[in-house]
Structure 1
Amino acid sequence: MAKDSLVPDEVPADGLADRVRNGLRSVENPVSGGSVLESGLVTQVSVDERTVHVSASLAELEEPIADDIAEALRRTALSTPGVEQATIEGEVQSPDETAAERVDGPANVDTVIAVASAKGGVGKTTVAAQLARALATGTDRDVGLFDADLYGPNVPNLLNIDGPVSATAEGRAEPITAGELVTMSVGLIANDEPLAWRGAMAHEAVSELFEDTAWGELETLVIDLPPGTGDIVLTALQSLPIDGAVLVTTPHPTSVADTSRSATLFEENGIPLLGTVVNMREFACECGRDHDLFPDANIEQALEQPVLSELPFEERIRDFGGDVPAEIVTLADAVRDRLDEIVDLSVPAHALDLRGLSRPIRREQAIEEFRATEPGETTYLLTDADPSSLETELATAVGADDASGDAFERSVVRRRAPNEWVMVVVR
C-alpha cells in the first residue's frame, strides 16, 4: 500500500486515510440507512501522497443513487484537510473491462467539444445547444449536437424535433436535422419512454450511439454530457474522442465549488478544459437596473481557468426560434480561440520521459534537452508531477530573464492522467 507523505498547508499526511474515514461516517447510505462505513458500502480507503482512493460497492445500485453517493464520497474526501485529489472506484470489473475502450472519432469530424456541468439545473443543455448553433453560423460545413444525457435527453424538446430515426443503407442511424445542426439523442429513439439502463448497458449505449450515427462531414460536434461526475460522464471522458470541454455553472458558491471538483475529473482523464460559462449571472428588471441572482464571487480565481462568458438570466438566451443571442456568438468565438491555443499533445516517440526521476535529475535533463533545440523547434517532456516550475528554469538556461521573456514561442502544460503530465515548449 502506498505510504502517506507530507501535504500542502503544513497538514501532516500521517493518518490521512483515518481522517478521511472519519469524515465518511457523515455520509449516509440511502438504501440501508446508517453511514456508508457502517453499512459496508465503502470497502477501502487508501492514500497515495495527496490523492485519496475510496473503493465502494456501487455496482448493484440504481444509477442515480450510485451517482449521488459517489459525488458525496468525492466531496467529503476533498473537504478533508491535506487531500488534494480524490478518486471513487465503484465497480468490480473483469480483466477485460478495467479500462474503457476508446471509440474512434468520426472520420470527417474536425473537432469534438464536450459541454458539462457539476450540477443539474444550471442550463448546461441550453448552453450546449446554443453554442452548437453559434458554431454553425457562418461556416460552410455542418455542425453536430450529440445528446449524451441518457436519463434527461432534453435536446429534442429544446430544438423542437421528433423521431423516429431512420437507418442509412449501411445500417447506421441517420441524425435529425434541426436548422443548421444535425442532431442525435436517445430521446429520439426512446419515444419518451423511461430508461432503466444502468452499468455496462448505459456505457455501451453512449459509445454505440455516438459511433453508430452517420454524422457525415462536420466542422464541429458538440456533446451535451449528463450533469455530475457519474459513470456515464466518466465513460464519455475515457472513451469518446473529446478535443476540449466547456463547463457550465451558476455563480452560486456551491455550484462553483462543485464545478472546480468536476474540472479536476476532466484533467485527471486528460481532457483539455477550454473554460467556464457562468450562466444566470444577473437579470434586468422593469426598472432598467441589473440585479445579481447569486452572491458575488471571484469565479475565475476559484476555478483556475478562464471564464468564457457570463450569460444573463433572460428569455432570449433560451430562445431557439430566432437568431443566436449575441452573447452566445461571443462565446463561440472564445471557444474557437481557446481551441487554437491548445497544441497537439500526441507525444512523439522522441519525447523526453522524466517520470520516476528525482527533481534535480529531472531539471538537469530538461535543461539539456531544451538547450539542444533551435528556435522554432519543439521540446516534449513527460513527467509524473506538475512541470510548470521548469518554465523558469528553461528560460534561464537560454539567457531569458524569466519564463515570460523571449525564451518561448509557446509553452503549454497539461495533465493527461492522474500521474502523467506533458509539457510542450516551442523555443
Structure 2
Amino acid sequence: MSTVSELQVQTALKEVQDPYVGKDLVSANEVKQIRVQDGRVEVDLELGYPAKGVSGRFSKDIQQRVSAISGVREVLVNVRQNIRTHQAQKGVKLLPGIKNIIAVASGKGGVGKSTTAVNLALALAHDGASVGILDADIYGPSQPRMLGISGKPTSKDGKSIEPMENHGIKAMSIGFLIDEETAMIWRGPMVTQALEQLLSDTRWGELDYMVIDLPPGTGDTQLTLAQKIPVTGAVIVTTPQDVALLDARKGLKMFEKVGIPILGIVENMSFYICPKCGNEDDIFSHGGGERMAEQYEVDFLGAIPLDRRIRNEADEGKPTVAAEPGSRLGQLYLELGRHVAGKLAVQSVDFSHKFPNIVIQNK
C-alpha cells in the first residue's frame, strides 16, 4: 500500500470550491486540520457561515476527491461553523450580543423588499444560525403579518422588552405595539427615536445575524442606521425595470457614502412562471439587477421569480422558507442566504469586543 501524505490531501482539497466565498477550501482557510494514518484521512472543515445546509455537499465532494488518491481507504469529514463578528462602518460601536447586522434596503417601495428580508432571515436560521429581524419601517410595518405573530411583547424587568418569536427567529416591530390599522403620523425625529428604542430596548440575546428590514428610500431612518447602528453589510433589492433600478442605485450610493459594505444585489420579480403551462415570461424586463451589479462591481446575489405562492405564503404568516424550504422557491431563498452569509464571512473580522477597556486615572 502506498503512503498517503498530507500534501496530497491538501492538493486534492484545492480542487473543491466554496461557491459562497468564491475560493477553494484551502485558499479560503476553511481546512483547519488534516490527519492521515494508515490510509485513513480525517479532514476538519470550518465555515464562517451557517453550515447545516451545505455540510453534506462539502463532505461528499471532499470524500470523492480524497478517495481518488492512491492508498486512501477511508475518508472522514468533520464540518463545523464559526460565525464571527465582522467590521461595520467606522466610528459605530458594536451592539452587545449581536455579531452581524444586515440591512435589507430598496430605493423605492413595491419591489418585495420585506418579503426578501424575512425569507433571508429564515434562510439563515434554517441553515443553523441564531437570527433576529427588526422591522424598521415605522410607517408601514409588515413583519408581524408576514411572520404570523400576534399579541403584544412582554417585559420581565420593566425596562426592556422581550422579542416576539416564530419560525425559529426573533422579531421586533412597531407593529407589535400598535393596532394593525393605526396610522403612524410621526415626524422624522420621533421615527428615528422609535427605531433606536426598538433595537436597544429589546432583549435580543445572542444573535449571529440581525436582519433589518428598512423602509424604502434614503431618509431619516437610513441616516440613523448609518450614524448609530453598526451595520456589517447591506443587501439592495430591486426589480429588473429601469424605474426601480434608478432608485436602487440611489440606495447603493447612500451606503457607499456612509462606509457600509454592499453585500450585493437581489433581483426580485425577475421573471414570471405561468402556474398552468410553466412558461417563463420577463414581465418587468430581465437582467437589470445583474447589469447594475456589474456596473458597480458588487455581487449579484440571485434572482427571485414573480410567483403567487410567495405572496400567498407571506400573507398567511408562513413565508416560503418556512412553508416549503425544499421547493424550488425555497431553495432560491436558501441559496440567497448562503451567498449573503458567505460574502459576509470573507470581510474583515472585528476584534474590538475582545480588547479590555483601558481606563487612565490621575492619582
Scaled by the length of structure 1, the TM-score of the pair is 0.55
Q: Which amino acid aligns with 1:322?
A: A
Q: 1:383-421: per-residue Cα shift (whole Å, max 9, x none)?
A: xxxxxxxxxxxxxxxxxxxxxxxxxxxxxxxxxxxxxxx
* Structure-2 separation of matches of 1:103 and 1:152: 27
1:307 to 292, 295, 300: 300
8 Å contact kept, 1:253–1:297: no
Which of 1 and 2 has higher RCO (CA within 8 Å, sep 6+)?
A: 2
- Determine the structure 2 residue equivalent to 1:388: none
Q: Which moved more, 1:254-263 or 1:244-253?
A: 254-263
8 Å contact kept, 1:105–1:211: no
**Residues 306 and 138 of structure 1: CA distance in aligned 2, closer, same or farther (over 3 Å):** closer
TM-superposed deviation, 1:323: 2.9
- Determine the structure 2 residue equivalent to 1:280: 269
8 Å contact kept, 1:163–1:191: no
* Structure-2 separation of matches of 1:220 and 1:239: 17
Q: Which amino acid aligns with 1:301?
A: R
- Determine the structure 2 residue equivalent to 1:295: 285
8 Å contact kept, 1:117–1:248: yes
Q: Which moved more, 1:251-260 or 1:120-129?
A: 251-260
TM-superposed deviation, 1:342: 1.8
TM-superposed deviation, 1:204: 0.8
2:345 to 340, 345, 355: 340
Where does the alignment leave 5 or more consecutive residues of structure 1 unmatched?
1-101, 348-427
Q: 1:32-85: per-residue Cα shift (whole Å, max 9, x none)?
A: xxxxxxxxxxxxxxxxxxxxxxxxxxxxxxxxxxxxxxxxxxxxxxxxxxxxxx
What SS does structure 1 have at the residue aligned with 2:149?
A: coil
Q: Which amino acid aligns with 2:306?
A: F
- Determine the structure 2 residue equivalent to 1:155: 143
* Structure-2 separation of matches of 1:346 and 1:268: 24
How many residue pairs match? The answer is 245
What are the residue-to-residue correspondences of 1:60-139 with 2, within 5 Å? 104-139=93-128
1:142 aligns with 2:130: yes
* Structure-2 separation of matches of 1:190 and 1:314: 31
1:327 to 323, 332, 348: 332
- Determine the structure 1 residue equivalent to 2:226: 237
* Structure-2 separation of matches of 1:191 and 1:327: 34
8 Å contact kept, 1:115–1:223: yes
- Determine the structure 1 residue equivalent to 2:88: none
TM-superposed deviation, 1:163: 2.5
- Determine the structure 2 residue equivalent to 1:47: none
* Structure-2 separation of matches of 1:200 and 1:103: 20
- Determine the structure 2 residue equivalent to 1:387: none
8 Å contact kept, 1:106–1:215: no
8 Å contact kept, 1:281–1:311: yes
8 Å contact kept, 1:103–1:211: no
Q: Which amino acid aligns with 2:156?
A: T
8 Å contact kept, 2:270–2:303: yes
TM-superposed deviation, 1:212: 0.5
TM-superposed deviation, 1:217: 1.1
Q: Which amino acid aligns with 1:181?
A: I
**Residues 195 and 302 of structure 1: CA distance in aligned 2, closer, same or farther (over 3 Å):** same
TM-superposed deviation, 1:104: 4.6
* Structure-1 separation of matches of 2:176 and 2:288: 40
The sequence identity of aligned pairs, in percent, is 38
* Structure-1 separation of matches of 2:158 and 2:127: 31
Q: 1:71-111: per-residue Cα shift (whole Å, max 9, x none)?
A: xxxxxxxxxxxxxxxxxxxxxxxxxxxxxxx8754311111
Q: Which amino acid aligns with 2:155?
A: A
TM-superposed deviation, 1:341: 2.4
**Residues 218 and 344 of structure 1: CA distance in aligned 2, closer, same or farther (over 3 Å):** closer
- Determine the structure 2 residue equivalent to 1:401: none
TM-superposed deviation, 1:322: 1.2
Q: Which amino acid aligns with 1:203?
A: T
- Determine the structure 1 residue equivalent to 2:18: none
What SS does structure 2 have at the residue aligned with 1:183?
A: strand
TM-superposed deviation, 1:172: 0.4
1:253 to 242, 245, 250: 242
* Structure-1 separation of matches of 2:109 and 2:288: 22
What SS does structure 1 have at the residue aligned with 2:177?
A: helix
Q: Which amino acid aligns with 1:147?
A: D
8 Å contact kept, 1:111–1:243: yes
8 Å contact kept, 1:103–1:207: no
**Residues 240 and 269 of structure 1: CA distance in aligned 2, closer, same or farther (over 3 Å):** same
Q: Which amino acid aligns with 1:334?
A: H
* Structure-1 separation of matches of 2:348 and 2:290: 22
What SS does structure 2 have at the residue aligned with 1:190?
A: coil
**Residues 204 and 104 of structure 1: CA distance in aligned 2, closer, same or farther (over 3 Å):** farther
* Structure-1 separation of matches of 2:287 and 2:152: 45
Where does the alignment leave 5 or more consecutive residues of structure 2 unmatched?
1-90, 314-318, 353-363
* Structure-2 separation of matches of 1:105 and 1:150: 23
